[in-house]
């Protein structure tokens, strides 16, 4: 069986290292310019090189997003940026605009190009076009059904990448107009979207100004653009058979807990399927883990037919969250059974907590005692990023995520 790549989001260096620790084969990230996630931390030129060097030492890959829809002024700095990405051995750039593609082939011919989902590639002929242009991979639009993926795979000879988990957008593969209209100075197609598709809306009739009519779906009103989140974990066999080369997790602006949890779940599931496809089943603990992260209810998106009213969230626009990320394991001493935890949210002695670990099974325990670096007893970890120490009989490991049920 051909091994499939698991591709993780990386909004900063900490998330990048965590994604690799929890099992990602590759990560996609953006520089401080030309990327469609302007409000993510993103990577400076020096940080891009650091990230790529780190990934290559781990045997992993880095794909850099250059997927804005550019204006003429953007082309002043783009040539040097593309040359730099080539120089530091970027594994590929994600491009949506034909003008940037042409420029990249001209100034950085050795730099592999992947076609971003923002290019709205929805059919085999368009994929063949990009293949003939020299693209090594095409990220299909989220709107492509699985039946079409199979046909595209059969008629083309280029890697296909598809989203498997994360937030969905009302606009066609994320090419948003609403954010531009409402905010003027915040261009969603340059990475500054304010997610106004999640707002609650009313109608105003032209001849009755000041009278607002709710867009009713039921007695609670409606969030007409508020899609459920994508989750294709139960359908891994269909994704493998469809011909994908890479499965992509959305979320460069999501939390450490989100990245670690989703990547661990899909890594274990993909390993399980590749080891024994005939007997693959979705383990209950995988589903439970995906319910613990901040998310909206799950949907299969467009993969098995066009979404209906059941694929929208009508009660609220915010996410559901059942667990709180409260600490990050910096180190664990097996001899003394002492774990060093960096506080990420207030927690105290007596609380029941869980540890999600990169390679080991989930650990549930109670915080029986805490101490600072000097050995002084603490009743709580109160200060942001405070280092605290606790004894535990459970086997833990560095990089683990400490959380509690809300």
137-139/113-115 β-pairing: parallel
**How many domains are there within the chain?**
2
d(Cα 156, Cα 8) in Å, to the nearest integer?
25
Average pLDDT, the chain: 89
Torsions phi, psi of 216, nearest 5? Answer: -85, 135
d(Cα 232, Cα 262) in Å, to the nearest integer?
12
Provide the domain limits for residue 367.
323-405
d(Cα 260, Cα 258) in Å, to the nearest integer?
6
What band does 300 get if pLDDT is binned at 50, 70 and 90?
Answer: confident
Q: Which of 23-37, 75-89, 339-353, 364-378 is least confident?
A: 23-37
Residues 387, 294, single domain; the answer is no
Higher pLDDT, 131 or 37: 131
What are the tokens at 134?
């020299």
CA–centroid distance for 187 within its chain: 21
Q: Does residue 111 belong to any structural domain of this protein?
A: yes
Q: What value, to the nearest 5°, has the Cα angle with vertex 22 and ends 17 and 24? A: 80
Residues 300, 328, single domain; the answer is no
Residues 144, 279, single domain; the answer is yes
Residues 248, 373, single domain; the answer is no
What band does 170 get if pLDDT is binned at 50, 70 and 90?
Answer: low
d(Cα 169, Cα 176) in Å, to the nearest integer?
8
Q: Exposed, middle or buried by CB within 10 Å (0-12, 13-18, 19+), for 350?
A: exposed
Q: Does residue 195 belong to any structural domain of this protein?
A: no
Q: Which of 259, 284, 311 is the last residue of a domain?
A: 311
3-class DSSP state for residue 254? coil
Residues 272, 300, single domain; the answer is yes
Q: Does residue 70 belong to any structural domain of this protein?
A: yes
What band does 302 get if pLDDT is binned at 50, 70 and 90?
Answer: confident
Q: Which of 7, 1, 3, 2 shows the shortest CA–CA distance to 247?
A: 7
Torsions phi, psi of 390, nearest 5? Answer: -145, 150
What band does 174 get if pLDDT is binned at 50, 70 and 90?
Answer: low
Residues 331, 305, single domain; the answer is no
Q: Buried (b) or exposed (e) across 190-215, using 16+ Cβ within 10 A? A: bbbbbbbbbeeeeeeeeeeeeeeeee
The torsion defined by the Cα of 286, 230, 145 and 60, in degrees rounded to 10, comes to -70
User: Is 272 within 8 Å of 30 (Cβ atoms)?
Assistant: no
Average pLDDT over residues 121-128: 97
Count of C-beta atoms within a 10 Å radius of residue 264? 23
Say which CATH number the domain at 344 has: 2.40.30.10
Q: What value, to the nearest 5°, has the Cα angle with vertex 13 and ends 27 and 232? A: 35
Q: Which of 311, 341, 362 is the last residue of a domain?
A: 311
Torsions phi, psi of 94, nearest 5? Answer: -100, 120
Q: Which of 393, 255, 388, 238 shows the shortest CA–CA distance to 324?
A: 255
Torsions phi, psi of 396, nearest 5? Answer: -120, 180
Residues 307, 330, single domain; the answer is no
Q: Which of 141-150, 256-265, 314-323 is least confident?
A: 314-323
Torsions phi, psi of 284, nearest 5? Answer: -55, -35
Q: Is the pLDDT of residue 188 over 80?
A: no
Residues 246, 128, single domain; the answer is yes
State which H helix or E strand residue 272 sits in: helix 256-275
Higher pLDDT, 227 or 76: 76
Q: Does residue 85 belong to any structural domain of this protein?
A: yes
d(Cα 273, Cα 163) in Å, to the nearest integer?
18
pTM of the model: 0.87
Say which CATH number the domain at 239 has: 3.20.20.70
What is the crossing angle of helices 124-133 and 146-155, to 10°?
A: 40
Count of C-beta atoms within a 10 Å radius of residue 280? 16
Residues 88, 132, single domain; the answer is yes
Q: Is the pLDDT of residue 205 over 80?
A: no
Q: Does residue 54 belong to any structural domain of this protein?
A: yes
The pLDDT, as a whole number, for residue 222 is 45
3-class DSSP state for residue 253? coil
Residues 32, 57, single domain; the answer is yes
Which residues have CB under 8 Å from 210's CB, separation 6+?
A: 204
User: Is 396 within 8 Å of 354 (Cβ atoms)?
Assistant: no
User: Is 346 within 8 Å of 381 (Cβ atoms)?
Assistant: yes
Question: Tokens 């959380």, residue?
Answer: 403
d(Cα 393, Cα 365) in Å, to the nearest integer?
9
Residues 255, 396, single domain; the answer is no
The pLDDT, as a whole number, for residue 206 is 79
Higher pLDDT, 314 or 311: 311
DSSP characters over 123-164? SHHHHHHHHHHT-SEEE--TT--HHHHHHHHHH--SEEEEEE
The pLDDT, as a whole number, for residue 218 is 47
Phi-psi region of 175 (alpha: psi -120 to 50; beta: other; left: phi over 0): beta
Residues 238, 291, single domain; the answer is yes
d(Cα 388, Cα 376) in Å, to the nearest integer?
10
């Amino acid at each position: 069986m051909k091994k499939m790549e698991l591709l993780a989001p990386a909004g900063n260096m900490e998330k990048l290292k965590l994604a690799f620790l929890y099992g990602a084969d590759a990560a996609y990230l953006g520089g401080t310019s030309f990327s469609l996630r302007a409000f993510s931390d993103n990577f400076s030129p020096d940080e891009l090189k650091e990230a790529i060097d780190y990934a290559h030492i781990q045997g992993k890959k880095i794909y850099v997003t250059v997927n804005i829809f550019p204006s003429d002024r953007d082309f002043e700095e783009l040539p040097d940026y593309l040359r730099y990405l080539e120089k530091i051995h970027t594994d590929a750039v994600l491009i949506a605009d034909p003008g940037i593609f042409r420029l990249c082939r001209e100034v950085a011919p050795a730099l592999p190009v992947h076609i971003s989902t923002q290019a709205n590639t929805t059919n085999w002929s368009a994929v063949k076009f990009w293949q003939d242009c020299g693209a090594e991979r095409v990220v299909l639009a989220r709107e492509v059904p699985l039946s079409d993926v199979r046909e595209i795979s059969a008629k083309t000879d280029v890697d296909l990448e598809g989203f498997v988990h994360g937030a969905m957008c009302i606009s066609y593969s994320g090419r948003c107009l609403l954010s531009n209209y409402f905010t003027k100075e915040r261009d969603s197609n340059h990475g500054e979207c304010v997610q106004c598709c999640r707002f609650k809306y009313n109608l105003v009739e032209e001849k009755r100004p000041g009278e607002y009519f709710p867009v009713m779906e039921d007695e609670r009103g409606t969030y007409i653009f508020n899609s459920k989140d994508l989750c294709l974990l139960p359908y891994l066999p269909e994704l493998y058979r469809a011909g994908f080369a890479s499965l992509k997790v959305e979320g460069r602006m999501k939390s450490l807990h989100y990245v670690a949890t989703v990547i661990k779940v899909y890594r274990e599931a993909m390993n399980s399927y590749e080891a024994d496809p005939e007997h693959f089943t979705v383990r209950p603990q995988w589903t439970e883990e995906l319910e613990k992260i901040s998310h909206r209810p799950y949907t299969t998106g467009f993969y098995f037919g066009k979404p209906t009213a059941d694929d929208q969230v009508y009660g609220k626009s915010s996410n559901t969250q059942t667990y709180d990320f409260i600490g990050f394991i910096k180190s664990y001493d097996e001899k003394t059974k002492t774990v060093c935890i960096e506080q990420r949210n207030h927690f105290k002695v007596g609380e029941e907590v869980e540890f999600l670990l990169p390679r080991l099974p989930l650990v549930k325990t109670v915080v029986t005692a805490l101490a600072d670096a000097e050995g002084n007893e603490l009743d709580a970890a109160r200060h942001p990023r405070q280092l605290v120490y606790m004894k535990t009989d459970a086997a833990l490991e560095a990089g683990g995520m400490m959380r509690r049920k809300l």
